[in-house]
Each structure stands twice: as structure tokens, then as C-alpha cells.
Structure 1
Amino acid sequence: MIKKSNIRENECFEVVIENISKTIYKEVQRKIQDIYRNKFLIILDKLYLEVYQDIRNLLIPILVQDINEWQESIENESNDYKKQYEIYCENFFEGRYTYLLNRYKRLADTINLYKVDLFFSINKFILNLIENRRKICLFFLLDTNKFIIEFIKFVGDKHSADRNICFKLNNIIFYYKIRGMKVQLLADKINKEVFSCKYFKFPKSIIFTNFMIQENVINNDCENIKDIESFYFNTGVMLFYIYLLNGIDFHNENIIADGRFPILIDTETVISTISSKDIGDLGSSVFASAMLPMKYSKYYNGICDTSGIGQKNKILKKYIAFENPFSSKIKLKFIKILEDDIVSFLPKFNGVNYDALNYLHCIVNGFQHGYNLAMKNKLAYKRIIDNADNLMPRFIFRNTCIYSELLQRLYAPDTMKSNIYTYNFLKKFLKNIPHVNSDKKEKYINQEIEQLLKGYIPHFKICSKNYILRSNSEEVLYEDLSETLSVKKSLMTKLMQLSKEDLFFQIELISVSLNINNHNFKKINFNYNKPILRLIEESIHVINGKLLVLTLQKDWQGNYIYGNIKDGLYEGALGLLLAESQFNSYFSYQKIEKNILDSKDIGLINGYSSIILYNYYVSNLEKEVYFLEDIIFTQYDVIDGLAGYILLVYRKYIINKEELLLDYILKLIEKFMMFSIVNEEKIGFAHGLSGLKIIYIIAFKLTNKQKYLDKYKVIDEKDDISRYSSGAWCNGLTGYLVSEYIMYKITNKETHLIKIIDNLDKLFIFAYKIDDYCLCHGVFGILDFLLTLQQNNLLNDEFKLKFKKLEEDVFTTLDKKSILIKDISLFTGISGIQYYYNRKKENRKSILSLCY
């Protein structure tokens, strides 16, 4: 029994977790003391904090579920949930712990393996230091007569039993690292012989066969304010260096600003391989380094990722939290908190960190200087990398955060019960693995699972079978990978790629990423011939014979991400083709159609609905609508789900009333009705009620079943027009009125038209308040809808004049105001303006009203 009455804890279940953690810690501590007693002073006090946190993460999900189940079994005895919690904790080791170890088969195995790994990592770390103590002390100028080791913390992800460790040696902080020694040696040699070690540095390190010791690097002040400029110039050189070596994963935690020098503190991924398909693509560009911010806030007024070049930033962190804490009714939940990110990668003067935003030109100048140095020292570089194939650099199958989330999931009670269940769970989740030849996928998925079941973040190093010393679960063979080049060939390929054209393209990427001199914003200036086309073509590049069409697109949080354009209509190549037919010289419609059909996606963003709407717009009404049986959809909305698909197929049925088409639509409606929409709260045409309710009108029209009309009325009542506070098409008043317009075209009922006319004044007010120009959520969406009404003779003379005035004001504003021109997509970017201009000139139907 735990002798604690009226338990008081800082954290839930602290008394239980503390007991188990101390037992594990003391067992490991005792073993270490038995080995090194009376020989060396080894301080492991802080190891307990690591053990406590690890055990807490492991046990909390099980403890929460178990106390809930226990409480239900004694519910009639007492309703004092706080007291029940105390009783549960006080008596936990009188059988309850044994019960949990027996019930959750993986729990005992996980704890036992954790103890074995913990001892292994600490013992190996201490042994390596002791065996090489004289060399280490002499290298770092330490007293050779004194050797005091103090553990501080584990560093980085747990990839195996062996861990990276921060420690003190004779009261000075160092880092013990167990990976990347050969990479560090080669990277350092390139820095010396090509870049003369003048611009960036690595931590002072002593490298042994199976580990290295690095000095601790501090975010020291610059000597003067001019050194800030020097730092960012040097950072530009370092950016090129990482680009040259195909380096990846250089987020802000991997760089520390030490005066005017950036220090690369983690070199494991500074040299990497590339895929043959990435040559000349973003996958082998400066973006691959992760030093540049590819993600900006939704208003493009600040970086919102953790790139190695940037500014002070906030990041979202996930924590375990509780409902009804310290009671037997406790519930587990996860909360996300926005916190200040680290700033040690930013240079500092007088204690103040300076971000990159006022020194962007220095970065470009440094990058160009690094480029020139490499061109000048090509022969020296070739000589250095000639033996690079004996390196075994890290190879990344999936983002580390995916593995981290999976490990957290494996601590859930259901996956702790059985190895077989957990294996099958992981197998299902990891069923697709990139880069690997199809006949080898099973092999590497099993290696991922093997590492995850041991509690490790999967880690792989790539090598040729000619260099294998012994087989283990971390090795990836070149021979098993599709299109991946060897280290030497990857480095040589990048070297051969260097040219004036490549330099221009990389600087363009840097300029877009950092928005240098407001690079991403321009005035349209309609006085010039085809101004939009010229701006779009600035984002089209041909690199090494490969077509790259780049656009700033928004992620699900509304932040901008720069990357290759996709296939579909919303923000893809099909949208460019629709906006301007002359882009046929860049894109093949047949190839786009094949890609989309192969994807089985039905959405308007990148799916089959894109193809149908495109053909309606270009008046290819004879184009066959395929009856897709094995369609893939997870959404039921208009923009990316089943509702949009039904609306477009029904549009075809209106034109050509084929019996087969009717049967197909009824099947689709049946699928749609499996989803209960009555409780849906989201408003809007693209994602919410305004778009979804049209399906019930279609269902009623085709079947004459009153239940569909009744459901429509319920949803229509929820879709209150007073809830719309913007003029957007996607989730504002324009979308609501588009929905009424489509229903008017389907039913010919005046009630829908009256709703439209009654709200036009409000729509004009929104039009003058709206800040964005685009079709989806900007003023051109409003113009497009008004043009539709005018084409159908639904505007009176007063509204025609208002429409004309609004259109003139919008185009005048675009001549005077700089807008974001690097989003070239149809619905959210400048292609939407070109679409509107051509649609009006050619009197075509509107894509925003799905060509109804």
C-alpha cells in the first residue's frame, strides 16, 4: 500500500507513476554504480526526470480507462469520486498493478524493454566516455586528472536503445551523439576546402568510430550591429552549401547563431540522396533544405513554420489534459497550446534577437557568393565526394511527426492488449510506403513496425549491399528503392546541375519564399496587353527539360504553401486551361484527365467533378460522363465531395435525359442519404448547408418523395441568411445566393428568385468591404454571380448600373493596389481574373454556379 492518506498531487496519478518510475530509475542507477563504483564519479540524478516523463506518457491512458472501469464496478458503494480516486491510488500496488500487467500484454513487455534500453544507453554512453577519457580531455582542454560525468537529458527522438545525450563533463556541457560521424567528417572537409570555413561552422567535435562528442553552442551576441548583416550573408552561403549537398530537415532547432556565424549543430541530414524524378524539381531545390519558409500566414504577413531562416514564431504544441482530474470520473483529452518557439537560430545583439526580414538581400547575396565558390572549386569538390558512396546517410520514408503520433497512439489501452492486434493496426496504417520497389514494400513496412513496437521512432540509413557489414532493421538498400540515386551520384548530379539558369531559379524560389522586396505582390496594370497572362507565365519554369508550374496555395488552416500545381480545377492545371486556352501549350488535357480518373477522387478540387465542370464550361456537352462505381470520397459537400458530383451529373441529365444516367444519379443520392445532414452546422455553398440542401430538392424532383422535401425544409431553416457575414462564394452570401439560383433553375420557382433579388443590395455592400480579389472568397466571386444574373436577364436597370459601377471600381483598384500574384490558381488566384475577363467576353456560363 502507498502510505499517503488524503493524497495531494501536482499531477494526476503522480503517486502511482512516481513509485514505478523510482523503481526503474533505482534499478538502473544501482547497476551503473555496481559497475563503476569507486572508479569514477557518475551523477544520474536528472535521469529520474526522463524516466518519470516516459513512464507517465506510457501509463496515463491505461490508468484513466482502468479507474473508470473500476469506478463502475463499485458505483453503489459511494458517490464520492475524489475519495474513490484516493482509494484507487492508495491500493494500486495491492493487486491492481499486477492485474494491469496481466490484462495488457504489451505493457509488461514495454516496461521491461524500457528498462533494458535505459541501462544499455546509459552504460554504453559512460563506457565510451571512460575508454576515451584522455583523448576527450586533451581535445577539449579539460583536466585529465578529474573525470566527473553528469547526465542532463536525452536529446532528440528515440530511434533505438542507443540515445543522444546532453551531459556535463567536469562541469562543462557537451553532447554525446551516436549517428552521423562519417557524414560530419565529409561535410566538414567540404566546408574547409570549398568554403574555407569562413561563413558557417560546426560545433567543435571529437569523432570516434561509433560516437562523437560535441561542444555546447550558445546563442552568443554579435560584437556590433553590422555583424547581423554578416550573419545573414553567411546564412545565405550556408543555404547554398546545404542545397549543394542535398541536405534536408534544417529547421530552426538545427541551427544556432553564435555571433556572426550560423552553427550547424545537427549534421546527420546535411548530406542526403535525391530521387531521379526530383532532379530539377522542388524535391532537389533550396526548398528541400527546410531552411526556407514554404508556409506563410494567411495574410502573408509572417512566417508560420519552423524553417532555419526566419523570424520569431509561435508553434502549436499538444499536451495531455484531463476533465474531472483527481477523481474516479477522470477523462483524458489532448489540448493544443500556442507557444513561443525557440529563437536561438536568430542572431543577437545586446540581448535582442534580430529576424531575417530586414536582411533578406544579404541572404540572396550570400547564396550567390556560395554558388560562385562552388563553381570556382568544382575540381576540389569532385575529389572530396569521390568516395562518398561509403557513407550511410539517413533515409526518411515518412515525416517524423507521423511516427510520433503513431507511438502515442500505441499507448492507448486497445493497442496495449495484444501484439497481434497492434501489428495489424500498424500494418493497416502504414500500408503505403513511398520510394520502395513494389516487391520490397512489405519488407520495409515490417521494419517500421518492428521499430515502432519497441517504442522507437523508425530510423533508416541508406547503403549499397556492397557496404553492408551486418544486416539490421535500420538499413535500406539502394537496390530496393525506385529512382533513388546513390550518395555520390546524388552529389555529382547536383554539381552538374549548377548553372546560370539554375542560380536564377533558386533565387526566384528564395525571393518567393521570403517575399524579398515584396516580390509576390504587384499591381495588375490593365493598360498592358494580357497583363494576367504575363504574370501567370512568370510562375511557369522549364528546368532541365521539366515543366514546373508553381503556385502559392492555402492549406486547411488558410496559410499559404508554395509548391507544384496539382491537376484539378480549383487550384490546378485544369483551372489554368479553363481560364485561358493558350495554356494548352504547357498542359495535356488527356494526361490531366487520366491522372484524375486514376485517382478515383470525385471532388471539384482535384477530382472527377473538375473534369465534368471543365467540359460544361468549354461547351463540350457531348463529352461522356463516366459511371464511376468505385469512387472515393470522404466528404459530402459541394467543393470536394459527393454533393458537388451529384449536382454536376444531374446537370448532364437535364441536357440528356438518359435512363441509365437517372439510375446512376439515384444510386448516388442513396449513398448521400446514408449521411445524416440534419445536424450539420456548417454554413456556406462550398462546404455547408447551402450546397447540401440542393441535393434534397433534386431527390424530391426525381422521386416525388415527401421525406426529401421535408428534410430540405429542415436544413433550409437552419441555413439562415442572417448568419452570413461576408460576400464570399465558399461560405458567404454569394454562395447562398448561388444555391438559390441553382434551385431556381432546377424548379423554376419564383421563391428562390425573390430571395436573390431581395438580398442584392446587401451583396453590393459586402462587395465594397471585401478585401480579397479571388473567385472563391473575394470580389470576383461576387462579380461572377452578378454577371450570371445579367446573362439570364434577372437584373433590373438599377442593379445593372450598380454592377457596371462595381466592376469599374474593382478593375481601377487592381491598377492601383498591389495584390498577391504568386497564387496563380483559378479559384483562389489570379487565373480567376483571367477567367472572368474571358467568360464575359465569350458569354460563357459560370463555373461558380456549376454552369447551371
Structure 2
Amino acid sequence: MHKTKNTYLFEREYDKENSGVVDEALKRYWTNILGAEVISDLKNLYGIDIDSTLIGTNTYTTNQKNLDEIQELSNNFFSKNWSGDKITYNGKDVVFGSFFSQLVEFSTELLPENTENSIVESFTDSVLTQLCKICISTLMFEMYILKKEKKLRGKDAVAEYVFFNKKYLRSKEYVKCIFEIYPCLERLIFECIRNALDNYKIFVDRLAQDHDLIVEKLCEGKNFSHILKIKGGISDSHKKGSSVFIVSLDNGYQIVYKPHSLECEEKYQTFLDFVSKGCKYTIGKYTILNCGKYGWEEYVQQADCHTEAEVKRYFYRFGMLIFANYILNTNDLHVENLIAVGETPIIIDTETILGNYRVDYAETARDRIHLIIQDSVLYSGLLPCYKYAQAGHGINMGAINGSAGDEYPITIPRIKDNFTSNMHFEYVHPVTEENSNQVILKGRSVDPTKYKQEVNEGFCDAYLNLLKRKKKALEAVKVFCNINIRYLVQDTQRYSMILHTSYHPDFLQNAMFRELMLCSLLKDYKKVQGNIEIVRSEIMDMLEMDIPYFYMNSSDTDLFDSRGKAIHKYFRESSFHYVEKKIKKLSRKDMTTQSIYLQIALTKLNELDFEQRVMRQVKSEHKAVDKSTITKSIMLITKCLMDKAIFSDDKSDVNWIGVFAGGESENATWQVRPLDNYLYEGLPGVAIFFAALNKIFSDDKYNQILEGISKALFTYTDEMYLRQRGSENESSGVFCGEASLLYTYEILYQLTSEEKYITYSKKQIEVVSKIVNSDQYFDIIYGNAGALLAILNMYKVFPEKKYLEMAISIGDSLIEKQEKNGGWKGKTSANELAGFSHGASGISYALYRLWHLTKEKKYCVSAKRGFLFENSLYDAQEGNWKDKRCFKDIQFGDNKKFMTSWCHGAAGILLSRVKCYDEMYLEEFLTKDIENAIKAIIRHGMFDNNCLCHGNLGNSEILSECAKNTGNLEAKKMSNILLNYAVNNILSGNFDCGRAYLFGHKIPGFMTGLAGMGYSLLRHIDETLPCILAIEL
């Protein structure tokens, strides 16, 4: 083993007086990997400048004592010859078997004699799994070098791999050579083996020591003599490789071994008993045997429900669980933490009860809303919650209904071309795995959204029951005083990816390099971890190949790492104090708020079911509404937005609690979170409303709101402008993409004449320019058609050549992506669609606008092809255009379901035709389309929703634009009918009309909420306000 390069930085003492020459190439390499900010923070972490470590002639002393055992293991390995036979895992051959089989054979020889076969097998699997993680990158790289040097023999890549495996990897001298090149690899291999030996020895000793207690408490008195099987890899490894085992005994029982205290789980079960009292049913429990630093548990097995009544009782109990975990501020409960056992939901692994917050000061309004959500029923993870969201989709990690087969938008490494000399890593999208969290009735999983009434009843019953017993509750929670609770500093997925990267051969040639790579955790540490000592502890754990582990004492404000080192006063208050405060502030008002959140989260989204309930034609005034009446309705909307505004603690920043769709269309549900930075339903739309409001009804309060939103948007643009990588993963669209901020700044400049919006328009267009080349959506909402419209607007204000060139490049790309039938098929659509938001109308309209500017015929031809494709979907019998979106593999149009809105159907199609009318009026199809669309809206265009995207005010505004451009009187009449209806609703206090599924929550945003409704009404007060629906200035 190399005597110096196998040591980490913390094990080295550098000669600070050495003034040798710094290896500048190496310094540039590390600066490129880590970034200049991290490089500068290294001194704070280690007390030495990076230059000291990169002086080729610099000397240092090392502490080799902790490596003596590792050196001895390495010497013993090389002192014998090992078979080098192939090795299998789960019945399949393992790559580089000649290498791994020697190490595994060596490892098993170190186990005590007469070790049970089941233990040997589990130990072997554990060692092999970890060794593969550590070694495969280096072995693939070394094989690649030999292939490049033409030292591999064989007729093809398979034969070359076999040659490398047998000739080189069986060679003791070659393996020694690898360890000389990669001394950190050698260290990791034998540390892995040592840790596994220690952990299995501890497990065997504890099992023998607790045998009688296990038989009595977990096996109903049935004795066991042997272990049939041990299943490892159940949890992440912590504290030198220790992890959870599921143990199958020869008496027919399965038990779970956990190498940490089970005091949390014990106290949790006690508290569930208290919550159950007075409710219809008790909450299920399982047996726990806490042995101090470790423990044993009953293995909880999923079981089906047999009757509908059992399912209802299950979800009632689930509501009780939601309440219990709401009280305890539990977090990070997801699909793997819930077992559906007949009519009883069982929560396992409750390490993260009594959650705590590093800070409770809200620098931004978004922070304040996150604190509100953290203090709500949404925080525990039991209800649907989406992570890794992109372009409106995400992975549902919620315990109640997270399912298998959902594809993550992130990528992870996977070996490609196994057992060949061409082996390499490819990055693939993982999918969610099968868990035991779903209720099964008669062999089929049950949709929890159909049982939200039972869930809500269980929640409210438990809430009201405890409300009557506040004093007793405050006594009951004292069981949680002074216990240690795990605290999650960062997402495990991030740690896992960094660990994988640290095993790259570049970082194993010198242990210092691996440690420097792990120093990437320093990036943004003040914001993420909050303390550089946290980073130090994270690195120390990951050097041990572990996921970092932290815990807190429930009655203290310190945080502790896996070695017990304290980070003092990390929290402002103890987690137990938070629970006490939660109980004290319980009230019927809070119960109503939490009940609304719960029901929203369990409401399934289907636009046609919720947003397109067509009203039968009501008798409504078709004359123009007088401006004073419209003004009254605007002021009611304004008051509602002002009342619901949430400010940062210094009042300089503002946001609102919004409701957003999350997940794939078939299983999408609503999410409660702060407004995002996009126009469709985020902050930009609210900014536009208040800017227009302030222009017409000047008031400092309105300007304060505008300034607060502008601050948040500017911060976002600054961050995106400086971002070096990852921008290509963002969307480019004008409603749900980066172009939405560009368009917002353009509009705000038009409304306020303030130069700062021009400054940020110019910054934001640079952000958009990084994204447009990777667009896969093409449409108005998410894609380049929307970006094209915003860029054309920018060129209108600032006719600079580069903006025109950008617009032309996008137009050419859209033509290239056009299908033979004239439509476009984006990333999230199975078919070419009609309509304005995602379909041919919007994209063709954008191309028409480009043609209007450049007079390049190809853009007009492409736009016309798009319109004609769309007309191929016209259903003369229904008088509307078919909706080819799919729901459960069935097209909406096939079920004779048609939308008549801006987003999909006749209204958006009308808008596109009307906006092209000035120069394409001679096209016969255009005039016919306008007539057909007006008729469709008159027949089916009045809804129980007043929003712009799919409601009455959107359709009213489109008809009004039609009347202006074409003089159509029927359009004007219907526009007034819809306007009257909406205004009367608003004046009666029914802002969102039939949105019963929001249970009283009002959406603040533009296309689906109050801001857009208010802005549309303002256009009747000031006709110079631009039409946002058509992305105009």
C-alpha cells in the first residue's frame, strides 16, 4: 500500500513553510471541478490553502496508525492465491468476476469457523455489492486503456473482455499494479471488508444475546435454532457500513434488525395509542424490542382488504395517522414507510418524527410560505407530494398512493455493454419500484382519492378529540422529551450521486483527490447546510463510504453528527418545544385550514371533469357592463389578493399560496406551494395585474406589491443568468418556461416605463437563448413557439439584429420539427394536437407572427399547414375540433369530449385565426374557422369557472378580440353575456365559481386565477392594455 497517497487531507500535516512551485495545471483542474468559491472555502474547512496541497515538492507527515489494520488485510490478501472463479449475485454472473471472486473468497475466510451458511451468503452479497460500487469504474477504465494499447486479445469485444478478466484480473502482480496506481481504491476495498466483518460479527453476537427475548416478544414463544436467510441492503449504510437486515428464522417468523436505537419508534407507538382514544377505530401497531443502541422489530407484511368496508376503515385510520404526524411535525415519510395491512395502515421507520427547522426567519416570502407548509398536514409525506418536477410533471413520493413504474426526470449511471471490452456507464432515468403502501382490494390497488371523505373524517375526528384534551395531550407528548431523533440535512439522492462520482478512477489515484471531490459539498453550504462543520461531518461519513448521518436531541437545539460531535445551537428552538406550541395553537379554524389542504391534495385532476362543466345557457344581459360595476368587481379581486398576500419578515418580498397540478395526467393531483416564477399561474401574472391596476388606479399599496414581486423575479433572473450548467433542462415557453419572464418584463416596461424592466429583459433573453436549442415541447406553454413570440416582442421594442436572428433560428427549428401531416408532436404528447396552448393553433400563430415580420414565405406556408392539419380534426357533427390528448390511452375526442377554451378547443383556435386575420383574410378556411369557432363558443362556451385559461373571462376576452378584428356582432354579444355572468359571480363573492374541488381556496395566479380575471376586467377600463392571451405588447 502506498505510504502517503492513501491518506486523506485530514490525516496529513503539511509543511506550511514550503515555498515550492504550485502545479498550476492541477489547480486549474480542481478549480474547474469544484468552482472558485469552493476552492476559497477549503481554507476555512482545513486551515490550509489548496496551494499547499498542490506543491509537487511539498512534504507532509501522516497518521498511519489507523491504516495499520487495512495494511495487514492487504498483506494477507496477497499472501495467498485465490481461485478467481466467476461469481454470481442473485443468480446472475457479476462483471469482472475474476477480480471480485478473489476478494470475496478472502473475505469469507475471515469469518469465524462454523458460521451459518445463510450468514456467509448474506455477508458475501453485502461485500460484493459494496465492492462493485467502489471498483467497477476503475476496472472499466483500465480495460479501456489496455484495449486502446491493443493488449487485449480476442476476435471481438466479448472475447477481449474474457481475456482481460482471465489474464489480467487473475494476476496477483496486475492487481498489485492497480493498487499502486490507485492506492485509495486499495484502501476502500479493505475498509469495506473490515466494516462488513465488524457489522456481521456485531449482528451475530446481538442475535445470540437476545435470543430468548426475541422468541418471547417477536416469535410468540416459538424457539428458533437457525437463520434461513438474511436480506441486507434494506437501508442506506451509516456509521461504517451498518444497515438494516430482514432475518428469516427457522421457526417461520421474520424479524427486522436495526443497528440503532428504537426509542423513537417505541414512543411513537405510545402516542398513537393516545390519539386513538375517542375515535371510531384504533391505529394499528407492531411489536418493537428496543435494546438501547440497536433493536429488533416484528416484520410487517402487506395484506389485502376483502371488503369495501375494510377499505373505508383503512382510510379513516389513515386520516388519524395524518393528524398524529401533523402534531409531531413528522417529515420524510414516503412510500417505503407505509405498509397497508388489511384495514390498518402501519408506519415503519419513524426516525424523523419531531422535525425541526434550522431557521424560522423568512428572508423571502417563499421562505415564509414554506414555513407555513412545513407546519401543515402536507409536510409529513403521507399525502401525495411530488419531487423532481419538470414541465408540470414529477414523481409522486407520497405514502398514500406513490406507485411503481413512474420515471424520474433525473438520471443515474448504469453499465452498458456488460461483459464486453466496450463496457461503459450510460445515464438512464430510473423508475419507482414496487412497495407495500397501496391498499389492495380483490387483487387490485385502490385509488385513495376516492376515499378522501373517509381520510378527512378520520383526520377531523382525531383533531376534535384531541382539541378537547389539550392538557392531556401536552402530558402525553412528554414521552418524547430528551430522545435522539435523526435529522436529514440533505437529500440522500444527492449524497448517493456524489459518492458514486468519488469512486471515479481520477479520484482514487490519491486519497486527497477523493476528499477534494467530496468538498463539492461546500457549494452553497451557508444556505444548504448552514454551518461548515456540517460539511466536515458529511465528508468524514462519505470517506467511510456512508450516507451522512445526523441526529438531534428533542429537548435541545444542538445538532450531532454520526460520531457524536455537536454543532451548537443549530436550531432556534428544540423540536419538542415546536410540538408543544403546535398543540397549544390547535383550533377549529386551523382544523378547517388543514382539512382544506388535505382534501386538495387528495383531489385528482382531470381538466374535463373539473374545468369544463358546461353551464346551460342562462338568461344574462348581453349589453356592455358599465365601468363602475366592473371596477367594483376588480376591487373585490384586489382585496382578496391583498388579504392573502404573504410577505417576507422585512416586508420587501411577497408571494401567495398557490395550488398547482402535479404528476402525469392520468394520476395528477393538486399540490399546495408558493407561486412559481412563471406566467401561467405564478408571480409574473400577479405582477402584471398590479402594474396595470396601479397604472389605472394609482396607489402605493399596489406599487409595493409590484416592487415585492419584481424583487423576487429579478433574483431569479440573476441566478439563471449566472448559472453555468443545467439551463438546458429548463423549458423555454412563454407561459411555463423562461420566456414567460422575458415577456413579463416586456409588459411591465410597457405599463410602467421603468428602465429596470428593460435591463432584466436583456438579461432574461440571454437565459432563454441557452435553452431554445434543447426544446422538445415546441408549443406556446412550454416550448419554442412561446419563446418565439416573446423574442419577436423584444425585437419590436429593441430591433437588434441578434434578436431577429434568434427568432429566425427558432422558426426554422419549428418548421423542421413539423410532422408530415402539418402538426407537431411534443415531448409530453402522444399525438399531434389541436388548440392554442399545446397544439397547432399556437405554433402556427407564432410562425405567422414571424412571417409578418420577415415576409419569408416558408413561415407562412408552415403556419397554413398547421391550420389545415388542425382543420382535419374538425368534427362537423359536434361543431368543434377533436381533442387528441390521451387519458388512460383513450383520446378525449373519441369519447365525444370537446373543450371550448383558450387552452384547448374552439376559443383558442378562434384567437389564432383572429390574430392572423389582418393579412390572411383572403384564406377561405380562415373565415370559415372563425364562424365555426364562434358558434361552438355560443353553444358550449359558458362554464362554472371564470378563469382565462378555461373559463368565462378567457372566452369573453377572445370573443371581444374577435369583434374588434372582424366586426362580428354575435361574438360581441356572447362576449358581453360571459362578462356579465362573471362580474355578477364576483360581486356575489363567488370568485372561482364552481371550483368545489379547491374547497374554498382561491387561486391567485394569471391563467387559472384571480390575477388573470382582474387583468381581463381591467382591459374593459383601459383598452390600451395588451392582450396577454395572444402574447401581445
Instruction: Tell me if both proteins adopt one fold, taking TM over 0.5 as the criterion.
Output: yes
Aligned to 1:565: 675
Query: In the aligned structure 1, how far is the partner of 2:555 from the partner of 2:308?
Result: 52
User: TM-score, normalising length from structure 1?
Assistant: 0.79
1:623 and 2:754 matched:
yes
What percentage of residue pairs aligned between the two structures are identical? 16
Which of 711, 728, 741 is equivalent to 1:610? 741
Aligned to 2:539: 449
1:642 and 2:755 matched:
no
What is the identity, as a one-letter code, of the residue corresponding to 1:462?
Answer: M
Trace 1:803-822 onto structure 2 (pairs within 5 A): 804-809=934-939, 811-812=941-942
Which of 218, 221, 224 is equivalent to 1:140? 218
Offset at 1:213?
A: 0.9
Offset at 1:106?
A: 2.7
Question: Residue 746 of structure 2 contacts residue 761 of structure 2 at CA under 8 Å; is this kept in 1?
Answer: no
1:462 and 2:552 matched:
yes
Offset at 1:591?
A: 0.6
Structure 1 stretch displaced more, 43-52 or 65-74:
43-52
Structure 1 stretch displaced more, 494-503 or 266-275:
266-275
Offset at 1:513?
A: 1.4
Q: 1:716 to 1:313 in 2, by over 3 A?
A: closer
Aligned to 2:652: none
What is the identity, as a one-letter code, of the residue corresponding to 1:178?
Answer: P
Show CA shifts across 1:310-330 (max 9, x none): 375433488865544432233
Show CA shifts across 1:679-705 (max 9, x none): 988745666665677879969974599
Which of 635, 650, 658 is equivalent to 1:550? 658
Which of 139, 155, 170 is equivalent to 1:93? 170
Aligned to 1:189: 270
Query: In the aligned structure 1, how far is the partner of 2:429 from the partner of 2:554?
Result: 43
Query: In the aligned structure 2, how far is the partner of 1:31 from the partner of 1:682?
Result: 57
Query: In the aligned structure 2, how far is the partner of 1:11 from the partner of 1:70?
Result: 30
Aligned to 1:113: 191
What is the identity, as a one-letter code, of the residue corresponding to 1:736?
Answer: I
Aligned to 1:510: 598
Equivalent position SS for 2:301? coil
What is the identity, as a one-letter code, of the residue corresponding to 2:256?
Answer: Y
Query: In the aligned structure 2, how far is the partner of 1:846 from the partner of 1:508?
Result: 34
Offset at 1:459?
A: 1.9
Offset at 1:288?
A: 0.9
1:331 and 2:419 matched:
no
Structure 1 stretch displaced more, 679-688 or 356-365:
679-688
Question: Residue 182 of structure 2 contacts residue 510 of structure 2 at CA under 8 Å; is this kept in 1?
Answer: yes
Aligned to 1:740: 847
Offset at 1:576?
A: 3.4
Equivalent position SS for 1:209? coil
Query: In the aligned structure 1, how far is the partner of 2:309 from the partner of 2:396?
Result: 27
1:341 and 2:434 matched:
yes
Query: In the aligned structure 2, how far is the partner of 1:397 from the partner of 1:358?
Result: 35
Equivalent position SS for 1:175? strand
Equivalent position SS for 1:286? coil
- Listed as ranges, the gaps of 5+ residues in structure 2 are 1-80, 361-367, 621-628, 649-654, 695-700, 722-731, 825-831, 875-879, 884-897, 952-993
1:829 and 2:946 matched:
no
1:283 and 2:359 matched:
no
Trace 1:455-604 onto structure 2 (pairs within 5 A): 455-463=545-553, 472-473=562-563, 477=567, 479-481=569-571, 484-515=572-603, 521=610, 523=613, 548-554=656-662, 562=671, 563-578=673-688, 588-599=705-716, 600=718, 601=720
Question: Residue 837 of structure 2 contacts residue 903 of structure 2 at CA under 8 Å; is this kept in 1?
Answer: yes
Aligned to 1:650: none
Q: 1:794 to 1:160 in 2, by over 3 A?
A: farther
Which of 224, 228, 235 is equivalent to 1:156? 235
Show CA shifts across 1:64-102 (max 9, x none): 222222111116965433222211111212133333323
Query: In the aligned structure 2, how far is the partner of 1:78 from the partner of 1:132?
Result: 56
Offset at 1:255?
A: 1.9
Q: 1:479 to 1:535 in 2, by over 3 A?
A: same
Q: 1:612 to 1:218 in 2, by over 3 A?
A: closer
Structure 1 stretch displaced more, 612-621 or 564-573:
612-621
Query: In the aligned structure 2, how far is the partner of 1:758 from the partner of 1:436?
Result: 50
Which of 174, 179, 200 is equivalent to 2:283? 200
Give the number of equivalent residue pairs: 806
Equivalent position SS for 1:289? coil
Question: Residue 106 of structure 1 contacts residue 419 of structure 1 at CA under 8 Å; is this kept in 2?
Answer: yes
Aligned to 1:846: 1027
Offset at 1:366?
A: 0.7
Offset at 1:761?
A: 5.4
RMSD: 5.1
Aligned to 1:179: 260
Question: Residue 606 of structure 2 contacts residue 665 of structure 2 at CA under 8 Å; is this kept in 1?
Answer: no
Question: Residue 335 of structure 2 contacts residue 400 of structure 2 at CA under 8 Å; is this kept in 1?
Answer: yes
Trace 1:718-757 onto structure 2 (pairs within 5 A): 718=816, 720=818, 722-724=822-824, 725-729=832-836, 732-744=839-851, 746-747=853-854
Question: Residue 542 of structure 2 contacts residue 548 of structure 2 at CA under 8 Å; is this kept in 1?
Answer: yes
User: TM-score, normalising length from structure 2?
Assistant: 0.66
Query: In the aligned structure 2, how far is the partner of 1:819 from the partner of 1:761?
Result: 35
Structure 1 stretch displaced more, 600-609 or 63-72:
600-609
1:769 and 2:882 matched:
yes
Aligned to 1:372: 464
Structure 1 stretch displaced more, 253-262 or 114-123:
253-262
Trace 1:19-418 onto structure 2 (pairs within 5 A): 19-33=98-112, 43-74=119-150, 79-91=155-167, 92-94=169-171, 95-140=173-218, 147-149=225-227, 152-154=230-232, 155-161=234-240, 162-169=242-249, 171=251, 172-196=253-277, 199-222=282-305, 225-274=308-357, 276=360, 277=368, 281-295=372-386, 305-310=396-401, 313-316=404-407, 322-336=415-429, 341-342=434-435, 344-348=436-440, 354-386=446-478, 388-418=480-510
Aligned to 2:975: none
Equivalent position SS for 2:484? coil
Query: In the aligned structure 2, how far is the partner of 1:297 from the partner of 1:64?
Result: 31
What is the identity, as a one-letter code, of the residue corresponding to 2:882?
Answer: K
Query: In the aligned structure 2, how far is the partner of 1:710 from the partner of 1:466?
Result: 61
Q: 1:356 to 1:642 in 2, by over 3 A?
A: closer
Structure 1 stretch displaced more, 207-216 or 615-624:
615-624
Question: Residue 220 of structure 1 contacts residue 259 of structure 1 at CA under 8 Å; is this kept in 2?
Answer: yes
Question: Residue 423 of structure 1 contacts residue 449 of structure 1 at CA under 8 Å; is this kept in 2?
Answer: yes
Structure 1 stretch displaced more, 527-536 or 759-768:
527-536
Q: 1:15 to 1:753 in 2, by over 3 A?
A: closer
Aligned to 2:62: none
What is the identity, as a one-letter code, of the residue corresponding to 2:540?
Answer: E
Equivalent position SS for 2:346? strand
Offset at 1:565?
A: 1.4
Equivalent position SS for 2:289? strand
Equivalent position SS for 1:214? strand
Q: 1:465 to 1:311 in 2, by over 3 A?
A: closer
Aligned to 1:652: none
- Listed as ranges, the gaps of 5+ residues in structure 1 are 644-671
Offset at 1:267?
A: 1.6
Query: In the aligned structure 2, how far is the partner of 1:595 from the partner of 1:368?
Result: 37
Q: 1:376 to 1:468 in 2, by over 3 A?
A: same
